[in-house]
């Protein structure tokens, strides 16, 4: 099973600041990695797939990069609605696995 | 596009439960589907996958042999039969549509809560 480790566990930032979230895989997943946003009491929302492709309707301030084992989700300028938990997920191998999440909180 | 889960509830360890997910707004019969769960205080966990025609399935090791995913394309409905339930199966269960690449989830239901407790 591919293990995905996300860092940091918590990111404390102010609106308008840049957020950089990391996801590291235990083995190469090529570019088969996605990012999701989840707010309390809501289902997750797909943000990025195949490492850098924005899903339908996702604002341009969200961007993804990386390949192999190291990936980054960047939020260029945090909006109030961006404070949430973010998960990475791989589809390279079965079982599909998620990282443990990064909580982006208001500083 | 809408996915609506039902069937959750409180169940004793060792008992069974069947979840349903009714899909609308897209061509369900040509779309692969998944179940994903979120246990309290934990991260997301992929549970099961089924191909559009029901002829290919895959399961997380934690549920293999106990859970069965199935679908009825004539009813636009996805199912998860859960047997031999354990306390660690307690979670919010989501059905999710496959993006079309065999493993990303681009549309989610609101979830149904399963609590396994004596």
Measure CB to CB from residue B43 to each of A50, A87, A96 and give the nearest one: A87
> Over the stretch B12-42, which tens digit does the pLDDT of each residue have?
999 999 999 999 999 999 999 999 999 999 9
User: A95 CB near a chain B CB, below 8 Å?
Assistant: yes
Cβ of A95 and B46 within 8 Å? yes
> Over the stretch A7-62, which tens digit does the pLDDT of each residue have?
999 999 999 999 999 999 999 999 999 999 999 999 999 999 999 999 999 999 99
How far is residue A27 from each of residues A73, B43, B62, measured CA to CA in Å?
19, 20, 21
The yes-or-no verdict on residue B101 having pLDDT over 90 is: no
Q: Taking a C-beta distance cutoff of 8 angstroms, is the pair A25, A33 a contact?
A: yes
> Over the stretch A48-104, which tens digit does the pLDDT of each residue have?
999 999 999 999 999 999 999 999 999 999 999 999 999 999 999 999 999 999 999
Q: Taking a C-beta distance cutoff of 8 angstroms, is the pair A38, A44 a contact?
A: yes
The yes-or-no verdict on residue B103 having pLDDT over 90 is: no
pLDDT score of B58: 95
């Amino acid at each position: 099973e591919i293990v995905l480790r996300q860092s940091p566990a918590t990111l404390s930032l102010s609106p308008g600041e840049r957020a950089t979230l990391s996801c590291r895989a235990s083995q190469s997943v090529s570019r088969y990695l996605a990012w999701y946003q989840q707010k309390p009491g809501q289902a997750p929302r797909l943000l990025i797939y195949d490492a850098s492709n924005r899903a339908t309707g996702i604002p341009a301030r969200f961007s993804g990069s990386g390949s192999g084992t190291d990936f980054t989700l960047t939020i260029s300028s945090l909006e109030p609605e961006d404070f949430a938990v973010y998960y990475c997920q791989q589809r390279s191998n079965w079982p599909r696995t998620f990282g443990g999440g990064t909580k982006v909180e208001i500083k | 596009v809408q996915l609506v889960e039902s069937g959750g509830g409180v169940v004793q360890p060792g008992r069974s439960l069947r979840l349903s997910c009714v899909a609308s707004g897209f061509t369900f019969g040509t779309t692969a589907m998944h179940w994903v769960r979120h246990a309290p205080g934990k991260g997301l966990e992929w549970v099961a996958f089924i191909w559009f025609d029901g002829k290919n399935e895959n399961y997380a090791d934690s549920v293999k042999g106990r859970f069965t995913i199935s679908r009825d394309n004539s009813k636009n409905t996805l199912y998860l039969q859960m047997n031999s339930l354990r306390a660690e199966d307690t979670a919010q269960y989501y059905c999710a549509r496959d993006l079309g690449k065999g493993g990303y989830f681009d549309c989610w239901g609101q979830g149904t809560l399963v609590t396994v407790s004596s």
